[in-house]
Structure 1
Amino acid sequence: MPDYIHSDEHIVVVSKPAGLLSVPGRGEDKQDCLWRRVQQRFPTARIVHRLDQATSGLLILALSAETHRQLSMQFERRTPVKRYQAIVAGVPDATEGRVELPLRCDWDNRPRQMVDPVAGKAACTEWKQLEVLQDRTRLALYPITGRSHQLRVHMLAMGHPILGDGFYAPPPLDSAADRLLLHAEQLELEHPVTGEWMRFFAPCPF
């Protein structure tokens, strides 16, 4: 089950476990998801944004159509501040940086994404080194945009794929961990009703 971080009459904030879909997929075997689990406790819950199935961490859900609209507008305006932790292969040359590479769907290998400077949509990720662990590095990742698989593809493009990434990390890095080492640990945004700036945190499990 998800960990409940915060709830009030307008919103619910949860931490999704790795391996659980955010929303239902196609097929009977893909109906179990975070949204449906939250609805068992909060029947009016509506999903606002998503995390990859393999990624763990914070998601906010709205409890009414109006709060869903308000929160969705914030994400469209890129108001929320998101921070992830990841463990990547190797050690980057710098201690912090920025990746700006446009992304699009790799149609022949869906749902994978790819860098495409011509047809891709603008995507930006800022990163900062937290800890060097011999042949790997713990990074804080700050997605400025929210493209699908953005952090995973941008780290691969840097030459430092995220460990345990079965989509993008080459062998043996794809199986160097028992899960994708990517976690959405902090989310900051405006409360959709009170306007209060709120900060939520879910400790990194790896």
Structure 2
Amino acid sequence: MNTDEHGLILYADDDLLIANKPAGLTTIPGGWEADAPSLAKILEAEFGRVWTVHRLDKGTSGAVLFARSAAAHRTLSLLFETRAVRKTYHAICIGVPKWDEHTARHPLRFDVGHSHRTVVDHSKGKPSETAFRVLERFTGHSLLEARPATGRTHQVRVHAYALGFPLLGDALYCRPVERDIISPLQRPALHAYSLEFEFEGKPFSFTAPYPEDFTQTLSRLQVYKLHVDMLQV
């Protein structure tokens, strides 16, 4: 795969490599899909060895940061460990919040015995925090910005679900009747929109354009809202 041709590369220098991961592609090989294509394998075919700094779920699209040297990997990993990287996600959710901004602080625990879901657990869960902001309201759906302060598995998805606004297309946390009614998405409607951090005294900020399925879904929601608004006039 030619990375430029497919718009994968957002930025590259001798230390950093930021890619716009397509949904359906794992960040790194592993588990029962060890031989399947992964973003890391595709990048290494063009750039040589890369070091994984963080990961996105297979179904999540958007900005992923890799290091191109062991030294850069140590520095960047420390930034993530100390929460010095500002991560922003965009999510298309079922339901329309009455609030404009809200911070979810439900403690989370990964439950291997329950379809590998993460669950809210007030007694055994780890402290978790996600700040949500409404970007756009549709008819029965909304586009939310999510900024996780912690990095638990499925954190944005579970916190949105716990607030009563599950992600469109999320088969793991959403009842089947609520999925894919208006959307072409065959995955959770979650996109890693931007990364902001400082590396070696220099500020970096990267934004990943929406993939086609995400854009199409937003367009359908906008058209449907316009249609409903016209009927109510």
Q: Normalising by the residue count of structure 1, what TM-score does the alignment of the two structures yield?
A: 0.94
Amino acid at match of 1:62: A
Match of 2:195 in 1: 187
- Matches of 2:59 and 2:122, distance apart in 1: 27
**Cα deviation 1:170-196 (Å, max 9, x = unaligned):** 1222334323211011100112xx320
Q: 1:31 deviation in Å?
A: 3.0
Secondary structure of 1:109 counterpart: coil
- Matches of 2:152 and 2:105, distance apart in 1: 12
Correspondence list, 1:32-47, <5 A: 32-47=37-52
Match of 2:210 in 1: 204
- Matches of 1:17 and 1:40, distance apart in 2: 17
- Matches of 2:90 and 2:32, distance apart in 1: 31
Higher-Rg structure is 2
Tell me if 1:172 matches 2:172. no
Secondary structure of 2:113 counterpart: helix
Match of 1:128 in 2: 133
Amino acid at match of 1:96: E
Change (3 A) 1:139 1:111: same
Correspondence list, 1:44-193, <5 A: 44-176=49-181, 177=183, 178=185, 179-191=187-199
**Cα deviation 1:39-72 (Å, max 9, x = unaligned):** 1112120110000111000011001111101000
Instruction: Give the length in aligned residue pairs.
Output: 204
**Contact (CA 8 Å) 1:165, 1:175: kept in 2 or not?**
no
**Contact (CA 8 Å) 1:88, 1:139: kept in 2 or not?**
yes
**Contact (CA 8 Å) 1:85, 1:204: kept in 2 or not?**
no
Q: 1:28 deviation in Å?
A: 4.9
Q: Normalising by the residue count of structure 2, what TM-score does the alignment of the two structures yield?
A: 0.84
Amino acid at match of 1:46: W
**The 10-residue stretch of structure 1 (167-176 or 157-166) with the greater mean CA deviation from structure 2:** 167-176
**Cα deviation 1:8-32 (Å, max 9, x = unaligned):** 0111000100111111122256532
**Contact (CA 8 Å) 1:190, 1:196: kept in 2 or not?**
yes
**Contact (CA 8 Å) 1:165, 1:173: kept in 2 or not?**
no
**The 10-residue stretch of structure 1 (28-37 or 2-11) with the greater mean CA deviation from structure 2:** 28-37
Match of 2:31 in 1: 26
- Matches of 1:170 and 1:28, distance apart in 2: 27
**Contact (CA 8 Å) 1:168, 1:174: kept in 2 or not?**
no
Amino acid at match of 2:196: E
Which 5+ residue runs of structure 1 have no aligned equivalent?
A: none
- Matches of 1:158 and 1:203, distance apart in 2: 27
